[in-house]
A and B are shown apart, each in its own frame.
Chain A
Amino acid sequence: MAEAMGFYTDTTVCIGCKACEVACKEWNQLPSRNGGVNTLSGDSYDNTRRLDGIHWRHVKFIEQFTEDRKDGRWLLMSDVCKHCVNAPCLEVCPTGAIVRTEFDSVVIQSDACNGCRDCISACPFGVIEVNPASGTAQKCTLCYDRLQGGLEPACSKACPTQSIQFGAIKDLQGRAQKRVDQLQQMGEKRAYLYGADEKMLGGLNSFYLLVDKPEVYGLPPDPKMPTRNLKSATWFSAFGAILVGLMGIINFRNRGAREDAREEQP
């Protein structure tokens, strides 16, 4: 495997220009919603609304203002697939359509996907949805085709403020930590990294510098693997089957004793 590649997104320098969204759509030839007819969401300057099958980048606008709007701040964040090291979507995919590439990114092969949508419910970040044009689940590919050609992903290339930085995960982690230290020294004590180390799903290959709680950005504070429930759910189901089986055996086995037992029935 080549080196693990990914994104480090410094949300403090994002200006909400959406160049990443446009570059992504253009390179990946993603269709517009409603045939391009503009509809406003009413939610700040965000008319993309969410990541889905035709939006693989989404700039979030979070307004934190006082009631009289005299004081406050914007939180801006370009959201994307996290390319988790332990990827929940890849884990549950029954067709093998979701694979890990040589860049340690997670890619859905559209020609193998049959649109069962298990990955959608498995992704703790709500990244994946069906692209109506293909009928298959789609998301950011970390521009796998560009990476193979030695180019960087379209979004980071287009980002004018270097909020989205692409590179080897090791380099990015060092760079991000320096930036956190710098912000802390400057008095921004809330700055921290989200998903940069292996504690979160083995590490996010697209990690973030944030200045508020994860849920404020619409990110889960504690994302987990879907298979955490597999063993317990299976054992409980088997236990249920055993109970039903015992009830069936008791009831059908000895019909002669049934009349005597009638008084004891629940």
Chain B
Amino acid sequence: MARDHRKPITYKDAATEALLQAMEKDEKVFLMGEGVDNITGVYGQVLPAYKKFGPSRVIDTPLSENGLTGFAIGAALDGMRPVLIHQRNDFMLLAMDQMMNQAAKLRYASGGHHKVPLTILSFVARRPGEGVQHSHSLQSVFAHFPGIKVGMPASAVDAKGMLLSAIFDDDPVIILEHRHNPLFEKKEFVPKRYYETPFTSNVVVSGQDVTIVTVSITLLNAIEASGEFNAKGIYPEIMDLRWLRPIDINPIIQSIKKTGRLLVVDTGWRSCSISSEIVALVAERAHGYLKCPPRRITLPDTPCPASQYLEPYYHPTTKAIIQAVKEMV
């Protein structure tokens, strides 16, 4: 991707730029969410849009997650492109009826007539003390439902491009940013121009010894781990999944045919998850190519402890990736 002449910007600022460019491009785009007009709301990510477009297109809302989703669906049915913003993805569980019974179904139930171009933007938090409810990473829950797309950007370039793809897609799309600082404040060269990220997975590092499929921020752990491997002559292929639905499995299958080894790293729980899904798809389509059993690094199947002494060990780590690959290769 051609670099524009400017300094690197953060993941957060790249997403901000996407919101601004979407609103400039199409006056049917509007934003809704609690605290969107406030510096402390949504981590300041939406404030520039509020300053530029004002309260008629950037609406500070009551705490009515399910209702707001329905309002956004209604506006979308009338041709608008609403972006509904939840400060944390835990709150999205209050809107499951509208997201999954309604938004995900209305195109199908109307025989393809209705479009629901709704974007739901939310955040996965991760910090000591956030506890059992504020540190959810719920992508697998949302990706279970046909009719709705789910993406998790793992770079500043994708934080912008995936959000723009979502806003101008004609189906409901959920974008989950990851708020953990190594990613959220990470600076990259991000093209200034308008661009959309395709609904594909992304080979970030090419290699031939093991395929590491990462979800969201775990990409950074895999890249960090790869430095250690390269010194030992091990070359992993690192693939950022980007979209859980639609899942772009073919490049992963191709990679497995080359490497014969699969490691999936996810920010979510283990059971009934995107990591389960990837392992299942590889088992169905590339079983004969596997040289060893697939491995997964995920959250343990427990809620997240609040204590700062336990919390750091709860999440996938670079160390765990190094250990797993050592055992596989």
**A, B: real partners:** no
Show the binding face of B for A, using Cβ within 8 Å: none
What residues of chain A have their CB less than 8 Å away from a CB belonging to chain B? none
